[in-house]
Structure 1
Amino acid sequence: MKFVVPQLMFFFQDKTTKRNVVVLSKFLAFLLSVICLYSILFHLLMAYEGQDFSWVTGVYWTLTVMSTLGFGDITFNSDLGRVFSIFVLVSGVLFLLIILPFTFIQFFYAPWLEAQEKARTPRQLPNETEGHVLITSVDPITTRLIDYLNRRQVPYAVITGSQQHAATLLDQGYRVIVGDLDRQETYRQTQTDKAALIVVTNDDLISTNICFTIRQVSEDVPIVTNAANKHSIDILEYSGNVSVYEFMTMLGVSLARRAFGVGLGTTMIGRFGDLLISELPVRYTSLEGKSLAQAGIRQATGVTAIGMMEKGKFIVANPETRISAQTILILAGTSGQLKAFDEHFTVAIQQSPDIPQVLILGGGRVGQVAAATLDQYGINFRIVEKRSNIGTGAYREKTICGDAADLDTLRSAGIEQVKSVIITTHSDDMNIYLTFYCRQLRPDMQIISRSILERSVAKLHMAGADQVMSYASLGAGIIFQLLQPNEISLFTEGLVVLQRQAGTHYAGTSIMTCGIREKTGLSIIAIRQHDHLHISPDPETMIEEEDELIFIGTPDQEKLFEELS
């Protein structure tokens, strides 16, 4: 009842609905008058035949004939009466079975369904709402961001101008507000001036319009935007954005920096103040084939080996863990410690100027950025691109025009000599296919793949990818770190970092005896004591109630930790 009453109020307040109800009422009145007329004629014709029936019987006969039920218990004996019956039957089919249903659906039922959807999708947030995040587009980045927001219990709302789209998003479990993105009233009703962040990831033209509209309502609310075109950055910044990113460019750089190359060493994937978290593909380094105890990483450089990734799976590090060629070490330390690590353990790969080191499959925007990054490091590469109009810029001489799924094309590009392949097409289906194909051709080669959707990451690892960079996770991680700067966002897949106060549960125990690692698999990589951050703390460090503990692990381990805490 509580749900029906607001629907009725919303339904009958609409001007179009009022007009529809008037039209439907007129038709029903006309239909009622026809039934009355037929009932009167029924009595006259029955009197003509010498039969006598009540007025109720006349209405009964009219309705049974018009609705084509025709029970046959009351009939005419004369031809005139039978002709009248035929006329009533035909008009009944027209009025009751054809016109009435369509009129009812068009002027009442369809508007009623629309009113239900409008009543189900709110158009404003409560006045007391604050500290929330407003999102103007649902795409891979914002979908992943919403996962982060739900995990940290940060309130949010998606704004859409389409009632149908809003209903679809509601069915998918999103919190939705209906409103035109270019109207000031929309942002007033969503408490924009009290929002913690507004995320605008529409195309550049729409984003510019949205940002100017928001600034008419609030001059201070933080706005973050993705620029699809490099030339749009200045325009978007002028329209009032606090942060404008080129996530596609950042993705291309991240992919290239993970390729085996000349002295690239460790790659930072996250940071927390002075604490840097980095990763290192072990192949071609002096660590390959050793255990962590034999490697002596911490003793030599001060860097802590948190764990390792193999085929997208995080493995907790222990002294006996063997480092294979497929291992990607996850390391934590200061910038100085990581620099010492690079000098001590990484080895520059010798390459011939005539033999490509890296093969890039896909010469679109991400592929071109990856190529430019490799070029900065002096790494020889080749690009394979199917479209002939791509690759006509700075790297035309390094571009092979052809299908990356064709063996002859790959051979001409140097698939048999390269040490790494970067797959950058804009289709997850194609990336999975090319990953598996390249793995069959070269089992010993490093394969790095781009992923559009987060759900494709596991499939790419199954297909043979050594590392996967998700466009969604990269963008969502950067945005979330703007929202909560004290959180660590890892720009890699399959790992999470969380920060929690020790409380009374762990107070009085040491890192070694607290049992967190044994019970959950999470590793303590830093501890904040008395406003001082201790990076890679000693296992004997005692935990106090006010200490902030920083862990690293997988999402499943984080869930287990939350259940046990």
Structure 2
Amino acid sequence: MSGSNKNGNKSRWQISTERFASVFLLWVSATSQQRHFRTLLRFVIVVSMLVTAYALVFQALMTFEGQSHSLVTGFYWALSTMTTLGYGDIAFTSDLGRIFSIFVLLSGMIFMLVLLPVTFIELFWAPWMDARAADLVPRSVPEHIHGHVILTFYGPVASALIEKLNQFGYPYIVILPDIEEVKRLVDKGIRTIYGELNDPETYLRARVEHAALVATTRSDIVNTSVVFTVRGITSSTKVIATVREDSAVEILKLAGSSRVLDLTRLMAEALARRAIGGPGFSHIVGRIDDLLIAEIDASRTNLVGENYVNAQRQTQVSIVGFWARGQFEIGQADSTIDANSVLVLAGTKQQIKEFDANYRAEEASVKSKPVIIIGGGRVGRSTATALKRRGIDYRIVEPLEERIHDPEKYVHGSGSDKSALQRAGIEDAPTIIITTRDDETNIYLTIHCRLLRPDIQIISRATFERNVPTLHRAGSNIVMSYASMGSNALFNLLQRSDLLMIAEGLDVFKVPVPKGLAGKSLLEASFREATNCSVIGIDTDDETITGVGPDTILPETGEIVLIGTPQGETEFLRLYPLEKLAEPQQVTRKLE
């Protein structure tokens, strides 16, 4: 029994010794700590020289007074006096000796009681504790984890993507080169490890060979380094990089990126797709396999005033629901199509084409007035390009003169300036698109534009998801979230386009047919009312079924395509959970 305890104590002692050694090596290897150590050493040398000088002066003054003491006694007296211990067993009898004692005492209070503790704490103790804390920071993932997503940055896009990964059961890990940020995120429950992004060892510890995806959303230069480093380890793991400059696209591809995402262009396309106007009748806002999602201004159709169920019976497309003042509503039996709403349709290309031919109101005409874009940055310019492809005229309101490239298309001024908006044609414009990256500015501009034109369509960009409801309250008809759009784009590539964000507040997603619903009709399944999600298509091995109705039978194998709000999607997955590919795992503290 005692032998067992002894061996156990020895084992714990060895572990403690190894941990101390690792922390010490981490402490002394830091360049800043080496400078601190040299500074501390110089301070100790100065104090030692001062004590030696005091000891020598002590001997000289004692000899002057007729007393005889050794050099060791001189050191003993100097240290006891400087540290204010003052044993009193050795004392001067002359005024000169006492004045020297006062001087030694005062200098000791400064050096021993003030400077030495402060210097020791700042240059030794605090860095040592930081090194111990850094040693406890997670640096690897468990050996059994696989199919995970590796992220290299934590921001709005990563935060939204992590929420989606948790929802669908994908494990993830965030790699960050800042120890303090790692500790902060770990405390928040975000699975994070520490590592330099250009160090192959970092990705080996993150088990990149077994990962489903590496997503890097930093600057173009850092993203290139990440891609190149990962490709030096594995050629099979999918690596997705975002890009800011067009010139970096080919560089990232040459570095080995599986796909390069231009989130600015994606945001611009999304904003432009939602604008009213143009020669087209309905316009496509998304695609999932052979199924198209389209929107149409209800006032341009001959369905205004029709009951939703009656309108659905007249057409082959699925009239999924409608937008009203920024809120999406699934079509219900008692719903009536209002002229101020925007219909959301789902169907094949041919079905959409037939809808355009059969349900276009005679008075529907192309809106010839230009759309107003507030902000001439990258998103604003890309939105203008996307509108041009749709055949829609535009005017860009931009306060910076150096960004004005075409005086015919640009209006020099601020979006908060009424006269600038009037020069851009706000009295007749069908739509205003607000593209600045600052959410607070967008909220202000939304309220300002809504006051000037209560009936105009306002489309706004949001950088952070938390500001989406605020922008809706401010008066935006449609809000496109940069975070949601970016996270959905990355998730699409992970799940082979099984998820599509139509707008902030409306998702299209594909899931396997739940076992509890197989063989039932949509009417029997009756999850539409419970989840506020609607089936718009069924994908089997043989075909993609569109135009589904209440009597459509859900197959035992295959996938169903649903459309609904994020809350509805969450509720559906709660009622009919997916079979997870891998359970999210907690990261280990360090690589054993």
User: What TM-score bracket applies, with the shorter chain setting the length?
Assistant: 0.7 to 0.9
Is 1:427 aligned to residue 443 of structure 2?
no
Is 1:379 aligned to residue 395 of structure 2?
no
Instruction: Map residues 64-143 of structure 1 onto 2, 5 A cutoff.
Output: 86=102, 89-143=105-159
Aligned-partner SS, 2:524: coil
Aligned-partner SS, 2:436: coil
Match of 2:186 in 1: 170
Match of 1:146 in 2: 162
User: In structure 2, do the counterparts of structure 1 residues 121 and 269 end up closer, same or farther at CA, with 3 Å as the change threshold?
Assistant: farther
Question: Gaps (5+ residues) in structure 2?
Answer: 1-11, 66-75, 577-592
User: In structure 2, do the counterparts of structure 1 residues 69 and 560 end up closer, same or farther at CA, with 3 Å as the change threshold?
Assistant: farther
Query: Following the alignment from structure 1 to structure 2, what is the Cα–Cα distance between the partners of residues 92 and 8?
Result: 33
Is 1:521 aligned to residue 532 of structure 2?
yes
User: In structure 2, do the counterparts of structure 1 residues 206 and 399 end up closer, same or farther at CA, with 3 Å as the change threshold?
Assistant: same
User: In structure 2, do the counterparts of structure 1 residues 76 and 323 end up closer, same or farther at CA, with 3 Å as the change threshold?
Assistant: farther
User: In structure 2, do the counterparts of structure 1 residues 89 and 233 end up closer, same or farther at CA, with 3 Å as the change threshold?
Assistant: same
Instruction: Map residues 247-396 of structure 1 onto 2, 5 A cutoff.
Output: 247-294=263-310, 296=311, 298-346=312-360, 350=365, 356-392=369-405, 395-396=406-407
1:507 Cα deviation from its structure 2 partner = 4.8
Aligned-partner SS, 2:525: coil
Contact 1:358 1:381 in 2 (8 A): yes
Letter in 2 for 1:423: I
Contact 1:301 1:338 in 2 (8 A): no
Match of 2:5 in 1: none
1:487 Cα deviation from its structure 2 partner = 1.9
Query: Following the alignment from structure 1 to structure 2, what is the Cα–Cα distance between the partners of residues 539 and 345?
Result: 23
Contact 2:273 2:284 in 1 (8 A): no
Match of 1:487 in 2: 498
Query: Following the alignment from structure 2 to structure 1, what is the Cα–Cα distance between the partners of residues 427 and 411?
Result: 15
Aligned-partner SS, 2:329: strand
Match of 1:13 in 2: 25
Match of 1:553 in 2: 564
Query: Following the alignment from structure 2 to structure 1, what is the Cα–Cα distance between the partners of residues 212 and 181?
Result: 25
Query: Following the alignment from structure 1 to structure 2, what is the Cα–Cα distance between the partners of residues 253 and 210?
Result: 28
1:477 Cα deviation from its structure 2 partner = 1.2
User: In structure 2, do the counterparts of structure 1 residues 437 and 26 end up closer, same or farther at CA, with 3 Å as the change threshold?
Assistant: closer
With 506-515 and 127-136 compared, the bigger mean Cα shift is at 506-515
Letter in 2 for 1:388: E
So what's the TM-score if we normalise by structure 1? Answer: 0.83
How many residues are matched?
Answer: 544
1:398 Cα deviation from its structure 2 partner = 1.6
Instruction: Map residues 406-555 of structure 1 onto 2, 5 A cutoff.
Output: 406-485=417-496, 487-503=498-514, 505-507=516-518, 509-528=520-539, 532-543=543-554, 546=557, 548-555=559-566
What RMSD in Å do the two structures reach over aligned CA positions?
3.9
User: In structure 2, do the counterparts of structure 1 residues 98 and 459 end up closer, same or farther at CA, with 3 Å as the change threshold?
Assistant: same
1:388 Cα deviation from its structure 2 partner = 0.7
Query: Following the alignment from structure 2 to structure 1, what is the Cα–Cα distance between the partners of residues 414 and 260?
Result: 35
Letter in 2 for 1:366: V
Match of 2:68 in 1: none
Query: Following the alignment from structure 1 to structure 2, what is the Cα–Cα distance between the partners of residues 469 and 449?
Result: 6
User: In structure 2, do the counterparts of structure 1 residues 398 and 499 end up closer, same or farther at CA, with 3 Å as the change threshold?
Assistant: closer
1:291 Cα deviation from its structure 2 partner = 3.0
Contact 1:10 1:115 in 2 (8 A): no
1:406 Cα deviation from its structure 2 partner = 0.9
Contact 1:271 1:488 in 2 (8 A): no
Contact 1:6 1:119 in 2 (8 A): no
211, 217, 224: which one aligns with 1:208: 224
Contact 1:501 1:545 in 2 (8 A): no
Sequence identity of aligned pairs in percent?
A: 35
Query: Following the alignment from structure 2 to structure 1, what is the Cα–Cα distance between the partners of residues 367 and 286?
Result: 33
Contact 2:273 2:285 in 1 (8 A): no
1:277-308 per-residue CA deviation (whole Å, 9 max, x = no partner) reads: 333343443334443135x1x33331112222
1:556 Cα deviation from its structure 2 partner = 2.3
Contact 2:502 2:508 in 1 (8 A): no
User: In structure 2, do the counterparts of structure 1 residues 326 and 144 end up closer, same or farther at CA, with 3 Å as the change threshold?
Assistant: farther
User: In structure 2, do the counterparts of structure 1 residues 170 and 276 end up closer, same or farther at CA, with 3 Å as the change threshold?
Assistant: same
Contact 1:67 1:96 in 2 (8 A): yes
Query: Following the alignment from structure 1 to structure 2, what is the Cα–Cα distance between the partners of residues 5 and 152?
Result: 43
Aligned-partner SS, 2:128: helix
1:31 Cα deviation from its structure 2 partner = 9.2
User: In structure 2, do the counterparts of structure 1 residues 292 and 174 end up closer, same or farther at CA, with 3 Å as the change threshold?
Assistant: same
Question: Gaps (5+ residues) in structure 1?
Answer: 49-58
1:327 Cα deviation from its structure 2 partner = 2.1
Letter in 1 for 2:384: A
Query: Following the alignment from structure 1 to structure 2, what is the Cα–Cα distance between the partners of residues 182 and 215?
Result: 12
Query: Following the alignment from structure 1 to structure 2, what is the Cα–Cα distance between the partners of residues 123 and 322?
Result: 57
156, 177, 180: which one aligns with 2:172: 156
1:110 Cα deviation from its structure 2 partner = 1.6
Match of 2:246 in 1: 230
User: In structure 2, do the counterparts of structure 1 residues 291 and 86 end up closer, same or farther at CA, with 3 Å as the change threshold?
Assistant: farther
Aligned-partner SS, 1:404: coil
Query: Following the alignment from structure 1 to structure 2, what is the Cα–Cα distance between the partners of residues 457 and 181?
Result: 32
With 372-381 and 263-272 compared, the bigger mean Cα shift is at 263-272
Query: Following the alignment from structure 1 to structure 2, what is the Cα–Cα distance between the partners of residues 497 and 377?
Result: 23
Aligned-partner SS, 1:103: helix
So what's the TM-score if we normalise by structure 2? Answer: 0.79
